[in-house]
């Protein structure tokens, strides 16, 4: 005997297969492309660039406020971008840098002064340092995106028609 739930499940499976076919199989064909004029793409990218700049400004403001609340400036540079500073992981996670036994080297290979590592950095201050570092990493990503976006804007020819994948066109808000 055929169960209504089984029929319903089979219909859902067929719909999923059809969706998969549409999204993944047709995506790389002309059916998955949208023709867009360069001027329209450029306009949307300029809006996107403005949003990235707003993100950078927000990060800078928050990082300044947080470092003032902490009362000390970060001293470590971010490896991804040496012009951006962050708080040391030794300061934020001192217990991770305390080695067991008589040696004074942590599991991470850092020399550790146990008295410094066990200093009275409050959990609230450590959380503020982590928050600052999150903004620093967000700023790095935004700077990377800004450079990429500027390059794309410079490369676009306004009178040319571009074929964009539907997902890209949707992301840009181009129809």
Structure confidence at residue 6 (pLDDT): 79
How, if at all, do strands 76-78 and 161-165 pair? unpaired
Nearest-angstrom CA–CA distance, 137 and 132: 9
What distance lies between CA 118 and its chain's CA centroid? 32
pLDDT of residue 34: 85
**How far is it, in rounded angstroms, from Cα 136 to Cα 143?**
11
Q: What's the predicted TM-score (pTM) here? A: 0.66
Give me the pLDDT at residue 168, please.
Answer: 83
Q: What are the phi and psi torsion angles at 29 (to 5°)? A: -110, 180
pLDDT beneath 50: ranges in the chain:
99-118
C-beta separation of 85 from 136 below 8 A? yes
CA distances (Å), origin 12, targets 8, 16, 19, 22, 129: 6, 6, 10, 15, 48
What was the pLDDT predicted at 122?
84
What is the distance between the alpha carbons of residues 28 and 165, in angstroms, rounded to a whole number? 8
pLDDT value at residue 104: 42
Contacts of 46 (CB under 8 A, 6+ apart): 153
């Amino acid at each position: 005997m055929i169960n209504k739930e089984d029929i319903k499940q089979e219909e859902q499976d067929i719909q999923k297969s059809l969706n998969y076919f549409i999204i993944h199989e047709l995506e790389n064909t002309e059916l998955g492309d949208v023709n867009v004029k360069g001027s329209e793409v450029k306009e949307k990218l300029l809006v996107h660039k403005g949003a990235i700049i707003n993100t950078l400004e927000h990060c800078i403001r928050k990082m300044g406020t947080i470092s003032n609340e902490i009362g000390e400036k970060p001293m470590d540079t971010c490896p991804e971008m040496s012009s951006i500073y962050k708080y040391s992981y030794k300061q934020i996670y001192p217990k991770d840098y305390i080695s067991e036994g008589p040696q004074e080297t942590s599991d991470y290979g850092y020399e550790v002064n146990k008295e410094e590592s066990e200093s009275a950095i409050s959990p609230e201050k450590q959380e503020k340092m982590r928050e600052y570092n999150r903004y620093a990493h967000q700023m790095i990503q935004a700077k990377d995106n800004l450079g990429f976006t500027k390059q794309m804007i410079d490369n676009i020819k306004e009178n040319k028609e571009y074929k964009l994948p539907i997902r890209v066109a949707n992301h840009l808000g181009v129809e």
